Amino acid sequence: MGVEPARLPFRTTSLPTFLPVLLLQRHWMKRRGEKWSRKGMRVFNSTLDGSFREARLSHFKAKEIERKFICFQNEVAERERRQAESHSRALIRAERKGRRTISAELARRATLFDAEFRSFKDAQDYVGGFHECRGSVGTLWKSQNADFSFLSEVAEMSGLMDGCAQADSMVPPIEGRIREFWEPIEVSEDTTEAGADAADEGGEIDQPADSFGVSMSGYLGLNL
């Protein structure tokens, strides 16, 4: 028979010797993992809170910018409205001032025109009466009178001719002054701007209209 190998004695205390070490290592790793997990959660939560705060701050800034922009738009609209009202009032004042100026000028021209037109008619009547009544036929008819004197008739005719020449020379200046009454009435630039929209573009050629569509001859009420 062969020799059996020697068997090592079995110790029941070997298992409890290694078990606490494994348990300690497992417990340490578990605690370590929990610690890192909690730390990671804290970092994650901190990052999430920071992102949330940044988002809230960005939203607040956007709302603030929008509010300021709306206020700015309202201020601009209000300023434009006030400027438009001020400009409109200025145009109305300029238009009224222009109307008063034109009315006063038309009244002045009407008075002058009446005097000039009377002088013109008198000169025309004087010249026309001399040409019609002081010809050779009229002299021949007056020679039938007993008190007719040729020398006195010649002297009278000479005086009438001088007066006729003077009256005839007065007609062109009077006509020139009368034509000046139809010249445009000068007004200020703001009045011209105010009356541009209301101007009457259909004025007569021989009776022009002013910048506000008022016919001068209609205003004067002449019987030509």
> What are the beta bridge partners of residue 215?
209
Q: Which amino acid is at 98?
A: G
pLDDT attached to residue 139? 57
Please identify which residue in the block is written with the tokens 């001032």.
97
Mark residue 10 as left, alpha or beta (left: phi above 0; alpha: psi -120 to 50; beta: remaining).
beta
pLDDT attached to residue 149? 61
Tokens for 10? 């079995």
From first CA to last CA, the distance across the chain in angstroms is 174
Tokens for 208? 């022009």
178 touches 113 (CB < 8 A): yes
| DSSP conformation letters of the chain | -PPPPPPPPP-TTHHHHHHHHHHHHHHHHHHHHHHHHHHHHHHHHHHHHHHHHHHHHHHHHHHHHHHHHHHHHHHHHHHHHHHHHHHHHHHHHHHHHHHHHHHHHHHHHHHHHHHHHHHHHHHHHHHHHHHHHSSHHHHHHHTTSTT--HHHHHHHHHHHHHHHHHHHHHHHHHHHHHHHTTSPPP--HHHHHHHTTT--S---SSS-B-TTS-BHHHHHT---
pLDDT tens for 107-146 read 888 888 888 888 777 776 666 544 444 455 555 556 666 6
Domain chopping of the chain, boundaries: 85-220
d(CA 161, CA 173): 19
Burial group, residue 51, by CB count within 10 angstroms (0-12, 13-18, 19+): exposed
pLDDT values of the chain reduced to their tens digit, one per residue, 224 residues: 445 555 545 454 444 555 566 667 777 777 777 778 777 778 877 787 777 788 888 888 888 888 899 999 999 999 999 999 988 888 888 888 888 888 888 888 888 888 888 877 777 666 654 444 445 555 555 666 666 665 666 566 665 555 555 666 666 777 777 777 777 777 666 555 555 544 444 444 344 444 333 444 444 444 44
Q: Which amino acid is at 100?
A: R
Please name the residues in contact with 72: beta carbons below 8 A apart, sequence gap of 6 or more: none
d(CA 79, CA 201): 35
